[in-house]
Structures are given as C-alpha cells and as structure tokens.
Amino acid sequence: MVVIRHHETSSSTPYDVFLSFRGEDTRYTFADHLYTALVQHGFCTFRDDDEMHKGEYLKSELEKAIPQSKSSIIVISENYASSTWCLDELVIILERRRTSGHVVLPVFYHVEPSEVHKQTSRIAEAFAKYEKQCEEDTDSEGKGKRKEKIQGWRSALTEVADLIGLHLKDHQVDGHESKFIHKIIKYIGVNVSCTPLHIDPYIIGTDSQVKKINMWLQDGSNEDIVRAICGMSGIGKTTIAKIVYNQNFHSFDGSSFLANIGEVSKQPNGSLRLQRQLISDISKREHGEIHNDHVGLAHIRNLVFPKRVLLVLDDVDEVDPLYDVLGRPYWLFRGSKVIITTRYERMLQPHQMLRVEKLGQRESIKFFSLNAFKEDFPPESYTEHTKRVVQICEGLPLALKVIGNSLSRKREDEWASELVKLESIP
C-alpha cells in the first residue's frame, strides 16, 4: 500500500525560476517574452528589474533571491560577459548548483557554446577590459582581489558552457524564438516542480487511477478527448483530478481547473463566472467585460481553438451546464483533453469512465491514522476506536479525513462518547 505525502512549496524557495540575462541585449525582447511565457505557464519567476525596487540592487538581495529559487535560466547573449553584475550572478548560481542541486539551464542566445567555453569574440573583449583595469590598479591588495574575481568569472563561464543547455540555432527550433521559448518552458516543466493546486498531505489508494489517466493524457491521441472520473461523494474524485492536473498542465499550451461546477452553475450568473475563470486561466488576463454566456462562448471558442488545452471540470452533475460553460468539445484543438469529475455514470460512454472505488479496511486504517495521529498506524490504546471509525466511514476517504482531524483534537477519554454519537447517525 503506497502512501503519497504531498507538501506545499517550501517558503525557503518561493520562486520556481531565477532569470539571469543581459538587459542591454534582451530586456525588451527575448528575455521579456521568456519571462511572460514562464509566468503564463504558472512558474513564479524572479527577474531583478521586476522583483527589486529602484535603488535596492544590492548583492545581499541577489544572494537571497538565487537560493530562494528552485532553478535558474541563464540567457547568455553577445554582451552577457560585459556586465559584471551578470558574471557575479553566474558565480552565485553555479555555487548554488554545486551545493544544493539547484537546476541550471544555460540558454545560448545568438552565441555559440564554444565562444563561451573558450571565451572568444565579445567575451574576449570584455575580459581584455577587465584585465586592463586590473593592471592599472595601483593598490596591490586590490589588484590581487581583482585577479581572483576575474579568474572566478572565467571559470564560471567555462563551467556553464559545459552544462547541458539549449541553443537558439538548434535544428529543432532553427532560430525561431517562439519555438525556442516553448522548448525552454517544456524543459523547466519537466525539471522543476510547480504545483498550482493544493493537495492534502496524505493520499492513499490513487496510484492506479492516476496512472490510467496519465497514460490517456500522454498517448498523443487526437480522437478520444474526454474522460470522466466517477464515484460517490467523498470518494476522492477531485483529489485524483488535482494530482493529474498538477502532473500534466505544463505539457499543454493552456489549462484550467473549474471547481464545483454543479454548485456554481446553479447560482446567479454562475455559468458566466465559470466562463470568465476559464478565459482568464487560458489567456492569463481578466475578462470582466464579458457580460453574457453567448459572448463568453464566442471568446472561449476563439481562445481555445488554436491551442492544446487541459481542462478539468469538477463536480459536474448534468450535461447542460457543461455545454453552457464550454460549448461543444469539437471546438477544441487537436491534442486537447477534458477531465470531468461526476457522481453520475451516465455522463459519458462506458469506455470514457473511470470509476473510483472505496478504500479497503487496511487502507482505511492507514488513512485515518495519518489524519488522526500523523502515523501510519494507530497507537495500541486507540486500535479498537480506529476499527469503529473505519466501520462507520465505510471506506469513504472524506469521512475518514474529517473524523480523523476532529478526533485528533480530543482527549482519549472523549473518543468513546464521540464515537457513540457518530454511530447513532443513520
């Protein structure tokens, strides 16, 4: 029996990506487009001019930002080495990589990796300038420190050139910046954990269902675009959908997780609110100017038609709200996928349904124990109490979680009376 413990992103690494670039070369062009794409794909990205207020360009701030990031993208352009600020960043990034496994992706933008390794062309010119300044330094101690720093920069450039990186002139992108940025996003998506949806820390019994859905999402089929996760309330349908969404959303051009559709769609302007969320999730912009469902459907069709999208429609109890929010599935672009969670098996064809079963007794005991005691099994004095809870909950994860959390705050002598109350509920 496998237990998965999902943890929230550590506060010590609030950024997914630290973006290092030479502003003179790429600030308003490639680096700006790359930054925008990273943010649109859900990566919390640090770039110095965006995250630091004017006048706060301090080395101490820089030294905080890099360790607070899970990865670094280093855009090495023609004039990268002419910035001592960039070279200092590079040294700190590579030190972080050596000591903590920090993910580093060199991006060679109109520069050959061999130029960086051998330090030729513009890089050679920059270092000639640094070395001349060093020779002109009359302070022997200062000169020694300058030489040491220059050597550190040279070593860092050699080291980063030897790492596996991405090259704008690679045959797969052939100089096309949009394709190049897509390739960078894909690399970061594979190598950097980024989970946009919160998942409870204790999960049991979902492995087989998650594996089946992942195989369908990744099979490359353009025909079968809809799957439904079905089962009774509290069985774990939404949790499975969240896990799958977190694991796969980076592989699509856009994604949206619409929660509680059945409930929201019954509220005033509910379908319109869901449409606005869908449009905002895919376009990464607010769309408050959409005032009715018909305009919303037109926006959605124009927005999602040219993109491969992953959509999760949670807690759908009938087909009509689904069409009101999304329109018809044939609008979707080739390779798009739609996951529905529902209590009703009649929602789709049998081959499109994945049924979630109740937890067995051993799984129930473990899941309850994790929520009540933060351990895989109950303390010996609580064994009989635990068995009674498992019998009451009948394998429903939500019930086991709620009761476990509630009883975890009770004294042992209070458990018996609480269980009597629970057992009296029809």
- Which residues are catalytic, by number? 89
Spatial CB neighbours of 328, under 8 Å, sequence gap ≥ 6: none
**In 3D, which of 335, 426, 409, 342 has the Cα closest to residue 372?**
409
Residue 404, CB-side half-sphere exposure with 13 Å CA sphere: 26
- Distance separating alpha carbons of residues 299 and 276, to the nearest angstrom: 9
Write out the chain in H/E/C secondary structure. Answer: CCEEECCCCCCCCCEEEEEECCHHHHCCCHHHHHHHHHHHCCCCEECHHHHCCCCCCCHHHHHHHCCCEEEEEEEECCCHHHCHHHHHHHHHHHHHHHHHCCEEEEEECCCCHHHHHHCCHHHHHHHHHHHHHHHCCCCHHHHHHHHHHHHHHHHHHHHHHCCCCEECCCCCCCCCHHHHHHHHHHHHHHHCCCCCCCCCCEEECCHHHHHHHHHHHCCCCCCCCEEEEECCCCCCHHHHHHHHHHHHHHHCCEEEEECCHHHHHCCCCHHHHHHHHHHHHHHCCCCCCCCCHHHHHHHHHHHHCCCCEEEEECCCCCHHHHHHHHCCHHHCCCCCEEEEEECCHHHCCHHHEEECCCCCHHHHHHHHHHHHHCCCCCCHHHHHHHHHHHHHHCCCHHHHHHHHHHHCCCCHHHHHHHHHHHHCCC
Q: Enter the tokens of residue 151.
A: 């050597």
Q: Is 56 exposed, middle or buried (0-12, 13-18, 19+ CB in 10 A)?
A: exposed
